Amino acid sequence: MPRSSLLVCAAAILRATYSLAAQGTDSIVELRVDASHPGPTIDRNIFGQFAEHLGNGVYDGIWVGKDSTIPNVRGIRSDVVEALRALHVPNVRWPGGCFADEYHWRDGIGPAGVRKTTVNADWGGVLEPNSFGTDEYMDFISQIGSEAYISVNVGSGTPAEAAAWMAYMTADPATSAGKERAANGHPAPYRVKYLGIGNESWGCGGAMTPDYYVSQLKIYARFARNYNPMQSGDQAMRRIAVGADGSKTDYVEAVMRAWHDKVWSWDIEGVSLHSYTSAGWPPAHPSTHFGDSEYTAFLKDALNMEGLIAQHSRLMDQYDPQKKIPLVVDEWGAWLAPLPGSNPGFLVQQNSLRDAILAALNLDIFARHADRVRMANIAQMINVLQAMIMTDRERMVLTPTYYVFRMYAPFQDAALIPVQVDAGGRRSGALPRVDAIAARDTHGKLWLAAVNLDPERPVRIRASFAGTSVRIARGQVLTAGHVDSVNTFDSPRLVQPVPIEGAASAGALVLDLPAKSVSVLQVQP
């Protein structure tokens, strides 16, 4: 680590220690962790991402072109790839979003000279050069070690167009589609692990009635075939139907009823839920320069995800009590007012400590519903909405949300362990004091994630672990001076994790959490 980074880290530890001492841990929250009863697997796919052709999400964010002075591999920027590899991103949803229902895949294949220039009518009306198409997307996910999640165009496309796209991506090199792919540089079939059949077909995807959408779904689910011979059994492609718009249940109801009553000729393996945290619509809350009351209102709104998932799970249980069909939360995150001076169609916002806490709370909710929520995609990966990364030409900055995703990586495919939080009835305004999850990873290690939601007061937690002995816990904590602290291109390390440690006392793990913080620790016997 460079000396300057060490100094920044040391300063941050001192700041965290100072703030604990100065503010005093004025209450204890008891956690009961039942390690003897591991629950369902927290599917790694809940840490999925979303990259739409929107603003600078793809162009500049991922794609800079082969001739760029920004270091790149085949046009894909290397700094972004390196940062994303550290997150172990399980899947990347692409090309949209609303954009997907206007995307024609043929515009984005072949030599640069034959690609069409089109208009991105959804997002700012800017020119879409189609330089980043199917082969570039596949190259990108291969560079970051991720799986493909393709959204096909149901709104303005046809089943034939979707079927031809699938053939281009997955058919044998001896077929015409496979030969065309080989001519574009990739003889072997690509893996398409997830296929979204439309996007928000209740809205920008064509404002279809639930019944009309279901009739389309059956056709696409049958004919958009995956021909890759390596994708059978548990590697088979999973098709995800359009589901809920927030709390609206009509699509989930119609899709699940159709699935329950289906005949042999079609199937699906997931239903979506889209829900953003915006504390009102249209999004008008600023992403910078806000205080504790705004913080509290926003996190309160974020916690509504719990009720939404419970609501849709109950409905799905009626048709699928064995929980074969996952609820796929493939758009979620903070949606804030566009940054002043930015193109409002580009959905540019800053990303603060508050947003990192919001991300942790959502991940905790998804984990607690691991039996039904087996995939989720934060919106969006780079430069758009609640991004992991922001870029400005050759510069790149990692957001507080990025660090939460990096800290939570051990929870990918870990077995959920029930945690009971007893805050002694103490609440911080409208917010719970502490949120926590625990899990045992695939190597048998025990992990604890704990969020102190209180914007001002640190908290001491005392965690008892049934079914395992505990000696020490070591990990990282993310906090900052203010709820609206952000990383900028000029000060990129204001919000970043620092070490945290707790130790056993009288049989329980004692840990001091700074105010407004996210901690992830490995608990050791």
Active site (catalytic) residues: 200, 331
- Asked if residues 74 and 100 have their Cβ atoms less than 8 Å apart, the reply is no
- What gap in Å lies between CA 163 and CA 276, rounded to an integer? 31
Nearest to 418 by CA among 46, 44, 40, 45: 40
Q: Is 243 in the site for ligand AHR (CB under 6 A)?
A: no
Nearer to ligand AHR by C-beta: 228 or 386? 386
Please report, for residues 113, 189, 370, 387, 395, the alpha-carbon distance to residue 84 in angstroms, rounded to integers and kept in the order given: 30, 24, 24, 12, 15
Question: Segment contacting ligand AHR (CB under 6 A): 78-86, 90-98, 227-235, 364-372?
Answer: 90-98
Question: Segment contacting ligand AHR (CB under 6 A): 377-385, 480-488, 490-498, 513-521?
Answer: 377-385
Choosing from 130, 143, 170, 199, the residue that interacts with ligand AHR (CB under 6 A) is 199
Tokens for 375, please give them: 């995939």
Nearer to ligand AHR by C-beta: 96 or 129? 96
- What gap in Å lies between CA 60 and CA 291, rounded to an integer? 32
- What gap in Å lies between CA 524 and CA 321, rounded to an integer? 37
- What gap in Å lies between CA 195 and CA 299, rounded to an integer? 32
Question: Segment contacting ligand AHR (CB under 6 A): 133-141, 317-325, 378-386, 442-450?
Answer: 378-386
- What gap in Å lies between CA 56 and CA 62, rounded to an integer? 9
Question: Segment contacting ligand AHR (CB under 6 A): 91-99, 134-142, 253-261, 367-375?
Answer: 91-99
Question: Segment contacting ligand AHR (CB under 6 A): 72-80, 93-101, 126-134, 283-291?
Answer: 93-101
Q: Tell me how many residues contact ligand AHR (CB under 6 A).
A: 10
Nearer to ligand AHR by C-beta: 43 or 200? 200
Q: Is 241 in the site for ligand AHR (CB under 6 A)?
A: no
Nearer to ligand AHR by C-beta: 98 or 167? 98
The secondary element (H helix, E strand) that includes residue 179 is helix 176-183
Q: Is 200 in the site for ligand AHR (CB under 6 A)?
A: yes
Strands in 472-478's sheet, in edge-to-edge order, are: 415-417, 434-440, 446-452, 517-524, 472-478, 498-505, 508-513, 459-466, 28-34, 419-422
- What gap in Å lies between CA 281 and CA 247, rounded to an integer? 14
Choosing from 57, 96, 108, 475, the residue that interacts with ligand AHR (CB under 6 A) is 96
Q: Is 101 in the site for ligand AHR (CB under 6 A)?
A: no
Nearer to ligand AHR by C-beta: 199 or 496? 199
Tokens for 398, please give them: 């990692």
Nearer to ligand AHR by C-beta: 92 or 379? 379
Looking at 224-303, list the stretches that DSSP marks H as alpha helix, in order from N- to C-terminal side.
250-260, 292-302
Beta partners for residue 499, in sequence order:
476
Nearer to ligand AHR by C-beta: 268 or 385? 385
Nearest to 79 by CA among 495, 428, 388, 461: 388
DSSP 8-state symbol, 514:
P
Q: At what angle do helices 353-368 and 400-407 cross, to 10 degrees?
A: 30
What minimum distance in Å lies between the beta carbon of 162 and ligand AHR?
Answer: 18
Q: Is 154 in the site for ligand AHR (CB under 6 A)?
A: no
Tokens for 392, please give them: 């400005």
- Asked if residues 486 and 494 have their Cβ atoms less than 8 Å apart, the reply is yes
What minimum distance in Å lies between the beta carbon of 123 and ligand AHR?
Answer: 8
Q: Is 155 in the site for ligand AHR (CB under 6 A)?
A: no
What minimum distance in Å lies between the beta carbon of 200 and ligand AHR?
Answer: 5
Question: Segment contacting ligand AHR (CB under 6 A): 92-100, 442-450, 474-482, 483-491?
Answer: 92-100
| Chain position whose Cβ is nearest to ligand AHR | 97
Site string (204-233) toward ligand AHR, x via CB under 6 A: ------------------------------
Of 316-335, which residues contact ligand AHR (CB under 6 A)? 331
Nearer to ligand AHR by C-beta: 155 or 458? 155
Residues at the site binding ligand AHR, with contacts judged by CB under 6 A: 52, 96-98, 199-200, 331, 379-380, 385
